[in-house]
C-alpha cells in the first residue's frame, strides 16, 4: 500500500498542509471520516443499490453487483451525507458491526466475512478451557440437546472396529463406568473400582444379538425343520435353559434345562426336559438324528447342537448360567 504524505498512514485522514487555504474543509473531512470509521456500524452488507430514503449518517457495505449510485463500489463503505453518498475503501483488518445480522464482520483485503466463525474451530470451551484432547469442553450443571420439531440423535463415531466410541463416567476424574464400542463392535457396559481396571458387566453381540452378563448369556437361534443350529458356549461348562418361543404358539414341551461340558470332557446332563425335547449327549446331529416331532440337544467342542424335527422353522431361546 502506498502511503501519501498528505494523509495519515492508517485511516488515510487528510492532513492540513502548510499555507493551505480553507483549512476547515480538510479538518471537517477528517472529522467526517473519524465519525464514520470509529465504532464502525453498518446497517447491512447485503444491499447492492442505494436505499430510497436514507437518513444522514446511514452507512452500508456495498454488496456485489452494485448498481445505481453505488455502481462500481462493491465492498466499499457507503455513508449518506445528506446530498450524496461518500465511499471509503476498507483496508485489511477493518472491522464493523452489521445491524441486520447482529454480528461483527471483518475485511480481509478482498471481501467482508464474519469476524467470528463457528465452523471448523480448533477448540471450544464453554465456561472452561478446551485442549487438544478435549477440543469441546463444557463445564456446568447440565447440558441440553433438544429436538428441532421431531426427534434427536447423538452420534459418536469411530474410525475403525478396533478403535473406541464410548461414554465414560468419572468420579473426581477417575473412571467408574463406560458404555459403548470399546476395541471392537460389541456394545458393552463396563465398571471399575479404581479407574484403571474395567470389568464387563453387560455386553451385546451385534451379529447374533446375544446378550451376555457376568455368568449369564442369552440369545435366540432360529432352526429350520430337519436342520441343526449351533450355539457357541460362553465357557466350557455351566447350565443352559432352552425353550421354543413364539408369539402365538409357544411350545413348552420343546424345553429343557441341562448341565453341559463342551471342554475336554464332553458331557450333557439333563435336569429337566419337556416331553418333546431329547438329550442326545455327544452325538453328532445331522437334522434327522432325533425322533420326528422332537427337538434334540447334543454337545460338541465349544458348542451346543440343537436339532429341529418339528413341523416348521422354530426359534429357540437359550440362557446360559455359569460359564464366564
Which own/partner pairs from 130-138 qualify as long-range (CB within 8 Å, at least 24 positions apart)? Answer: none
Quote the pLDDT of residue 20.
67
CA distance 123 to 113: 20
What phi and psi values does residue 68 have, to the nearest 5 degrees? 65, -140
pLDDT mean across residues, the chain: 92
- pLDDT tops 80 at residue 31: no
Distance CA 246, CA 18 (A): 104
Q: What pLDDT is recorded for position 116?
A: 80
pLDDT above 80: residue 27: no
What does pTM read for this prediction? 0.61
Q: What is the pLDDT of residue 119?
A: 83
Return the SS3 of 68: helix
pLDDT at 3 over 60: no
What percentage of the chain carries pLDDT values higher than 70? 90
pLDDT level of residue 117 (50, 70, 90 thresholds): confident
Extended beta strands in 15-61, E state: 41-42, 59-61
Q: What is the pLDDT of residue 26?
A: 66
More confident residue, 97 or 12: 97
Query: How many whole angstroms separate alpha carbon 164 and alpha carbon 184?
Result: 7
* Cβ–Cβ < 8 Å for 54, 86: no
Give the per-residue pLDDT at 255. 97
pLDDT bin (cut points 50, 70, 90) of residue 87 is very high
Cβ(199)–Cβ(213) under 8 Å?
A: no
Nearest alpha-carbon partner for 223 in 247, 242, 248, 204: 242
Q: Which of 8-22, 86-100, 103-117, 243-257 has the lowest mean pLDDT?
A: 8-22
pLDDT tens figures, 190-229 = 999 999 999 999 999 999 888 999 889 999 999 999 999 9
Give the model's pLDDT for residue 190.
Answer: 96
More confident residue, 38 or 265: 265
Q: Stretch 115-128: mean pLDDT, rounded?
A: 89
Amino acid at each position: 500500500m502506498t502511503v501519501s504524505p498528505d494523509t495519515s498512514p492508517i485511516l488515510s485522514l487528510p492532513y492540513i498542509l502548510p499555507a493551505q487555504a480553507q483549512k476547515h474543509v480538510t479538518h471537517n473531512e477528517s472529522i467526517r471520516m473519524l465519525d464514520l470509521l470509529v465504532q464502525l456500524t453498518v446497517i447491512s452488507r447485503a444491499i447492492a443499490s442505494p436505499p430510497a430514503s436514507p437518513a444522514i449518517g446511514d452507512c452500508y457495505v456495498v454488496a456485489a453487483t452494485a448498481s445505481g449510485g453505488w455502481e462500481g463500489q462493491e465492498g466499499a463503505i457507503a455513508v449518506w451525507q445528506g446530498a450524496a453518498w461518500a465511499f471509503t475503501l476498507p483496508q485489511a483488518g477493518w472491522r464493523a458491526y452489521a445491524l441486520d445480522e447482529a454480528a461483527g464482520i471483518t475485511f480481509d483485503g478482498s471481501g467482508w466475512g464474519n469476524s467470528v466463525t463457528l465452523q471448523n474451530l480448533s477448540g471450544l470451551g464453554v465456561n472452561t478451557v478446551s485442549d487438544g484432547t478435549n477440543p469441546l469442553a463444557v463445564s456446568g450443571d447440565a447440558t441440553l440437546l433438544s429436538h428441532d420439531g421431531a426427534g434427536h440423535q447423538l452420534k459418536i463415531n469411530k474410525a475403525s472396529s478396533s478403535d473406541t466410541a464410548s461414554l465414560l463416567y468419572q468420579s473426581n476424574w477417575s473412571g467408574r463406568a463406560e458404555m459403548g464400542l470399546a476395541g471392537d463392535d460389541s456394545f458393552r457396559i463396563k465398571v471399575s473400582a479404581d479407574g484403571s481396571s474395567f470389568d464387563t458387566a453387560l455386553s451385546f453381540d451385534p451379529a447374533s444379538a446375544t446378550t451376555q452378563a457376568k455368568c449369564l448369556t442369552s440369545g435366540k437361534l432360529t432352526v429350520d425343520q430337519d436342520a441343526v443350529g449351533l450355539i457357541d458356549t460362553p465357557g466350557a461348562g455351566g447350565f443352559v435353559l432352552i425353550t421354543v418361543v413364539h408369539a402365538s404358539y409357544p411350545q413348552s414341551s420343546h424345553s429343557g434345562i441341562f448341565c453341559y461340558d463342551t471342554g475336554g470332557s464332553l458331557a450333557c446332563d439333563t435336569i429337566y426336559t419337556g416331553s418333546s425335547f431329547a438329550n442326545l449327549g455327544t452325538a453328532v446331529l445331522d437334522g434327522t438324528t432325533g425322533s420326528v416331532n422332537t427337538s434334540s440337544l447334543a454337545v460338541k467342542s465349544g458348542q451346543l447342537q440343537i436339532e429341529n424335527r418339528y413341523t416348521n422353522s422354530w426359534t429357540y431361546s437359550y440362557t446360559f448360567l455359569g460359564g464366564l
